[in-house]
């Protein structure tokens, strides 16, 4: 089964309370976002936005230049339905992150829970190059070395502060990092590391 088929099936068959990554309020993403001074018209992209409510926060705060990328069209359609008329204010991108070729620069690139699904050196290098080339500021939330070794039946890559800094250093500088325990809808705990970076 391809990655796309896998995720289309997940979002077709399961509701938000049946998947581990659901957050009613994406508190940590919001806190990290608020550390940056982002103008209302600045271009922002949410990678793997799926059914995340980070886009709700951005819209409610009056941000007007929002893109949401997800591999699953089913996930995006569910979010469009949830947002109703507000969904017309968002640029929706259905694309596997491995095939994403940005055609613009973003003031902020946000990714909660996509980066750890990249398990090959080529995938990680391609992603890293896009972040460094097309974003001024970057927020990533990914499984820590104390987090799960698999998610949704797929292998993942775990990270600590040093490994993330090593990957993104050079073109970007670490701004902040924090370890977070995410409680899933079924009362299990997953440990994430969140880091933010800014361009030098």
pTM flag (> 0.85): yes
Predicted confidence band of residue 2 (pLDDT cuts 50, 70, 90): low
DSSP state of 16: G
When pLDDT is cut at 50, 70 and 90, the band that residue 16 belongs to is: low
Q: Identify whether the C-beta of residue 137 lies closer than 8 Å to the C-beta of residue 198.
A: yes
- Checking if the pLDDT of 1 tops 50, the result is no
Nearest to 4 by CA among 103, 111, 90, 100: 100
Token digits of residue 116: 């750890």
DSSP readout, 144-194?
A: BTTS-SEETTEE---B-HHHHHHHHTTTEEEEEEEEEEEEPTTS-EEEEEE
Got the DSSP string for 33-45? HHTS---TTS-EE
**Per-residue exposure over 67-76, b if at least 16 CB sit within 10 Å of its own CB, e if not:** bbbbbbbbbb
Cα(83)–Cα(97) distance, rounded to whole angstroms? 23
Of 150, 54, 156, residue with least CA distance to 111 = 54
pLDDT tens track for 34-45: 999 999 999 999
More confidently predicted of 150 and 10:
150
CATH of domain 41-199: 3.40.50.150
Q: Which residues contact 125 (CB under 8 A, 6 or more apart)?
A: none
Look over the chain and give the mean of its residue pLDDT values, rounded to a whole number. 92
C-alpha gyration radius of the chain: 16
CA distances from 41 to 38, 89, 143 (A): 8, 12, 31
């Amino acid at each position: 089964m391809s990655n796309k088929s896998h995720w289309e099936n997940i979002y077709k068959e399961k509701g938000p309370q049946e998947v581990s990554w659901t957050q009613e309020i994406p508190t940590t993403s919001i806190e990290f976002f608020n550390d940056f001074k982002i103008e209302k018209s600045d271009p922002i992209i949410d990678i793997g936005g799926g059914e995340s409510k980070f886009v709700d926060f951005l819209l409610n705060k009056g941000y007007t230049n929002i893109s949401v990328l997800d591999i699953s069209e089913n996930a995006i359609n569910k979010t469009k339905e949830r947002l109703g008329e507000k969904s017309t204010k968002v640029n929706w991108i259905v694309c596997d992150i491995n095939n994403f070729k940005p055609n613009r620069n973003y003031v902020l690139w946000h990714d909660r829970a996509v980066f750890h699904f990249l398990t090959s050196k080529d995938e990680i290098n391609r992603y890293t190059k896009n972040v460094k080339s097309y974003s001024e500021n970057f927020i990533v939330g990914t499984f820590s070395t104390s987090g799960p070794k698999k998610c949704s039946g797929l292998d993942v890559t775990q990270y600590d502060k040093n490994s993330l800094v090593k990957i993104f250093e050079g073109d970007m500088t670490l701004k902040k990092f924090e370890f977070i325990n995410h409680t899933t809808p079924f009362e299990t705990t997953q440990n994430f590391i969140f880091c933010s970076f800014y361009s030098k």
